[in-house]
Chains A and B, each alone.
Chain A
Amino acid sequence: MQQQVLQFAIRVSDLVVGFGRRVVIDHLSLDVRRGEILGLVGASGGGKSVLMRTIIGLIPRRGGEIEVMGSAIGGSHDRGTQSAAGKWGILFQQGALFSSLTVRQNIQFPLRENLTLSDTLMDEIATAKLEMVGLSPDDGDKFPSELSGGMTKRVALARALALDPAIVFLDEPTSGLDPIAAGDFDSLIKTLQKTLGLTVFMVTHDLASLNTVCDRVAALADGKIVAIGPMRDLLQSGHPWVRAYFHGKRSQMLQPKAS
């Protein structure tokens, strides 16, 4: 019965978000299944990050319902959002690591705030997470300002996973990484998703990662989801923006692989 209810990790229905007179998200509905990796694409400044931040309760909405793991999400001042914090981990675009804490302390921060554990165990868990995202235990003593872009993303992912959340939100996880590092990061996300049974909600522009890791892709245009489905369905989509996105010059080289 419970499994039935939780078939969807995130349910968004009829969502409206706007700033001033501009409506960014216009009656949008989206369901994210449990255990899938959903990629969200859209024009720059088209509201992808706004949608993500609204789901996690950072931006107030004008209308509509959001349900995460079966419980409704209110505005950011709502208590419900606070208690949901353990259910999700968020990888912000710039990492958003606490600059005055070491990498290890950054990863331990959610543990320390939410659980009562001995220091030894906390250290072991932090090291375990570090190694799971492909860093060495020695990196734990570094400060965020000493990390490269790729390492920052990995540490941010380790912090997002600290409490073993059911859902992780990734905001452009591979932007600014070289293709090899981006590929590594993709396979890391895939591996972690498989081992930990995560639901991944990923905002990305990286056509390669859409192709390789995402189970489904949702396209956001004009404040609505205009197409959703596996990559090959989107390639067939007739919506003009989606066509322009996937059949533009830059994506030509990916066509044979995708079909």
Chain B
Amino acid sequence: MATAPLLTALPSGEALELRPAGSWTAANATALEALYNSVATPLAAAKRVKLDLAEVRELDTLGAWLIEKMARRVTSDGHRSEMTGVADNYADLIEEVRQVNRRTTAPAPAPNPLLAWVSEIGGAAVSATQDLTVFLEMLGSLSLALAGVLRRPRSLRLTSLTYQLYRVGWQAIPIIVLITFLIGAIIAQQGFFHFRKFGADSYVVDMVGILVLRELGVLIVAIMVAGRSGSAYTAELGSMKMREEIDALSTMGLDPVEVLILPRVIALICALPILSFIGSMAALYGGGLVAQFYGGMGTAIFIARLHEAISVTHFEVGIIKAPFMALVIGIVACSEGLRVKGSAESLGKQTTTSVVKSIFLVIVLDGLFAVFFASIGM
């Protein structure tokens, strides 16, 4: 049924007669555009154009538009064009297409590159301050919600809190144990390999113990939680925002911060210290196994060395950071979730931002704590 499209151009003096034929449909789009381009030059030169559509077998919007475009090309120069031989069933379509694309919209002027660059820098500065405001706002409304809960303890969403604890705490244990175990084992192995050269084997235990308890245990766990639970928070709140669920909550007189965000943040604050503790133990266990099988240090010796090397202070320094890191992760994740706009793309973008930002802030916070503990001599 579909036949190849043809366009015969018959120039006679200043007049031009065009005879389209065959199927002028989207299926032949590429050929049609080539045909249109091939008559562009004679069309520009012609003073009068006659379009004979008698041979056209099939026509759709695309074909009709190209034919209309040829006619318009001539009429825009103030010349005349006429159309004949339009089949009855295509008359409406031709008429419809004649109405469209009448208004030419001027393309937006290209921005001055220097100006664009300056405005980009300005925009980045503004959005950086906005980030800070959003963070502080979220901290403020969380404190308010917490104060409300302290005044009326019954308003705490216990079911939600328990469920979130289950998700971010309990369900995270296997992967966190696995990762921290491997990290502890790798540190110990590297320690034995290099320390052995100058006979400092026994200090590997000190290194593993202090490193894991003070820094690595909590840092690795916080980064994993930011990637695992922070991203989930952002995506959940973001898609709730997209589907107007958060607006629905507010119209029912409920505070989304109290209902959705407070239980999530409290769950993180409770779960992260526990996970850090479990993670640190797994890392020490990994280190101990390597010490036994790779370093040739018996379990009893390892534990004795560990007992000498570390004190409760090391453990405290590590674990005290966990709730603060959890707070930062929770605030960033939830506030990024609430910043999601209507599109799927913005959900993805905000989730990425949430994870990147919370990992960055966790590391910055760790640095600040290191300075703080050093200055108070812990």
**Which A residues are within 8 Å of any B CB, using their own CB?**
2, 86, 98-100, 111, 114-118, 121, 124-125, 127-129, 131-132, 137-138, 143-146, 161, 163-164, 191, 194-197
Contact = CB atoms under 8 A, between A and B. Distances in A.
B33 A118 contact: yes
A213 to B, nearest CB: 16
20 contacts: A99-B343, A100-B344, A100-B346, A111-B26, A115-B26, A121-B33, A124-B101, A125-B62, A131-B99, A131-B101, A143-B342, A144-B342, A144-B343, A145-B341, A145-B342, A146-B342, A191-B96, A195-B92, A195-B96, A196-B61
Contacts of B26: 86, 111, 114-115, 163-164
A132 B61 contact: yes
Contacts of B99: 131
Contact of A117 (B25, B29, B97, B343): B29
A237 B349 CA distance: 55
Given A100-B343, A164-B61, A127 B93 contact: no
Given A86-B26, A124-B69, A164-B62, 7 more contacts: A99-B345, A125-B65, A146-B342, A195-B92, A195-B96, A196-B61, A196-B93
B30 interface: yes
B342 A132 contact: no
Chain B: number of interface residues, binned into ranges = 20 to 34
Contacts, number: 74
B12 interface: no
B115 interface: no
Contact of A164 (B25, B92, B342, B344): B25
A129 B344 contact: no
B61 A125 contact: yes
B105 interface: yes
Interface in B330-361: 341-346
Contact of B65 (A114, A118, A124): A124
B33 A143 contact: no
Given A196-B60, A196-B93, A131 B342 contact: no
- Main secondary structure, interface of A, reads helix
Interface of B: 1, 25-27, 29-30, 33, 60-62, 65-66, 69, 89, 92-93, 95-97, 99-101, 103, 105, 341-346
A100 B105 contact: no
A164 B62 CA distance: 8
Contact of A116 (B29, B96, B343): B29
Majority SS at the chain B contact face: helix
Given A115-B30, A117-B30, A129-B61, A99 B101 contact: no
A99 B69 CA distance: 32
Contacts of B103: 137
A117 B97 CA distance: 19
Contact of B345 (A100, A117, A121): A100
Nearest to B60: A164
Contacts of A197: 89
